[in-house]
Chains A and B, each alone.
Chain A
């Protein structure tokens, strides 16, 4: 059951990424290029996504359970530290250089083009590299 629902969730999410065309690096970069020919499309995608997900988060946050009555513990919302801000900044630099974040990177990999393979290769290498850092730097709660 959990496998099927996660498969469905991924399918709907992936269809959304495809329809919004946010897997196209040029579309993302034109949003990030505030000093150039600015394209607001990414803001519409994020606003639509947040609005559609917010009622579900409110429901689960207040009940502390999902629809199937399983206990759900959502991540700590308040802990703000240097690791969060600096890590996100490093991610932002990589995102700005390429116009690709993890979800679109995986979608692009299905095209089996060399640039997509190189980007995702770097992405996976980066994920492994963090595990090699000293524990006081790399240890943190997974998720959000």
Chain B
């Protein structure tokens, strides 16, 4: 296994541990779209746990930086993508963390269907953008 895959696995274990801590000590689900959706509407929850989780989430990135990230499409497509992610995760009640990690860890058929749906549509979208006739978003 390459270093990159070990990093991916080790990072994943920490993501799962973070979700486990939030469940075991706060009784809450580490679904970021749900936490963000409630927070922007001013619903912070008992002990302001949502705000606390978000502060903790962003602290390592604020310290170590995220400069290795390269953004793929231009700004108009990024704005549309953000909008679709916002609408889709609120309607579908979850994202990669809520359905893909917490829901699957909970053995939820509902989350499995959601995960298959967003994975499939994301793969189709990437296929169309990178290999299809449509090249406007790449």
- Given known contacts A40-B5, A91-B89, A111-B67, A5 and B26 CB-to-CB distance under 8 angstroms: yes
Interface size on B, residues (CB 8 A): 115
Chain A contact residues: helix, strand, loop or mixed: helix
Contacts of B104 in A (CB 8 A): 46, 50
CB of B97 to closest CB in A, whole Å? 6
> From residue 7 to 66 of chain B, which have CB atoms closer than 8 A to chain A?
7-34, 36-38, 40-41, 46-50, 52-62, 64-66
Contacts of B13 in A (CB 8 A): 16, 48-49, 51-52
Interface size class, chain A: 35 or more
Residue interface bits A39-63, CB-to-B below 8 A is 1, else 0: 0111011111111111111011100
- Do B130 and A49 touch across chains, with their CB atoms under 8 A apart? no
Set A7, A19, A74, A103: member contacting B10, Cβ < 8 A: A19
> From residue 66 to 105 of chain A, which have CB atoms closer than 8 A to chain B?
66-68, 70-72, 74-80, 83-103, 105
Closest residue of chain A to B87 (Cβ to Cβ) is: A126
A49 to B98 Cα, complex, angstroms:
12
> From residue 99 to 144 of chain A, which have CB atoms closer than 8 A to chain B?
99-103, 105-111, 113-116, 118-131, 137-138, 140-144
Give the number of residue pairs across the A-B interface with Cβ within 8 Å.
512
Contacts of B58 in A (CB 8 A): 10, 14, 106-107, 109-110
Binding site for B on A (CB under 8 A): 1-26, 29, 32-36, 40-42, 44-57, 59-61, 65-68, 70-72, 74-80, 83-103, 105-111, 113-116, 118-131, 137-138, 140-144
Binding site for A on B (CB under 8 A): 4-5, 7-34, 36-38, 40-41, 46-50, 52-62, 64-73, 75, 77-111, 113-115, 117-127, 129-131, 137
